[in-house]
Amino acid sequence: MVLFIGTTRFGGRRWIGYGSFHVQISEFIKTVIILLVARYLTELKTDRAEGRDLLKLGGLVAVPMLLVMKQPDLGTALTYLPILAVGILLAGLRWQYAVAIGVVLLLVVPLGWRYGLKDYQKARLVTFLDPGQDPQGSGYQVIQSKIAVGAGQMWGRGVTKGTQTQYGFLPVPHTDFIFSAFAEEHGFFGVVWMLGFYFVLLMQIVQNAQMAPDRSGMYLCMGVGALLLFHVLVNIGMVVGSMPVTGIPLPLMSYGGSNILSFFMMLGLVNSVRLGRFVS
Count the Cβ atoms, other than its own, within 10 Å of residue 107.
10
In 3D space, the residue among 149, 214, 220 whose CA is nearest the CA of residue 186 turns out to be: 149
pLDDT at 253 over 70: yes
* Residue predicted with more confidence, 101 or 32: 32
| Most trustworthy range by pLDDT among 84-93, 94-103, 132-141, 204-213 | 204-213
DSSP of 182-199 = HHHHHHHHHHHHHHHHHH
In our burial notation (b when 16+ CB lie closer than 10 A, e otherwise), range 149-186 reads bebbeeebbeeeebebbeeebbeebeebbbbbbbbbbb
Considering only 97-111, 120-134, 229-243, which range has the smallest mean pLDDT?
120-134
| Three-state DSSP state, 110 | helix
Question: Is the model more confident about 114 or about 159?
Answer: 159
Alpha-carbon distance 27 to 262, whole Å? 6
The full length of the chain comes to 280
Q: What is the pLDDT of residues 58-101, one digit of tens each?
A: 999 999 999 998 888 888 999 999 999 999 888 887 777 778 87
Are 168 and 185 in contact by the 8 Å Cβ rule? The answer is no
User: Does residue 280 surpass a pLDDT of 60?
Assistant: no
pLDDT band at 128 (very low <50, low <70, confident <90, very high): low
- Strongest mean pLDDT among 35-39, 66-70, 145-149: 35-39
- Tell me if 251 sits within 8 A of 228, measured CB to CB: yes
pLDDT > 70: what percent of the chain? 94
Q: Are 235 and 249 in contact (CB under 8 A)?
A: yes
Distances in whole angstroms, Cα of residue 233 to Cα of each of 16, 136, 215, 250:
28, 26, 27, 9
Helix/strand number for the chain, H first, E second: 12, 3
Residue-range domain boundaries for the chain? 2-278
pLDDT digit string (tens) for 159-180? 888 888 888 888 888 888 999 9
Q: Quick one: pLDDT at residue 243?
A: 84
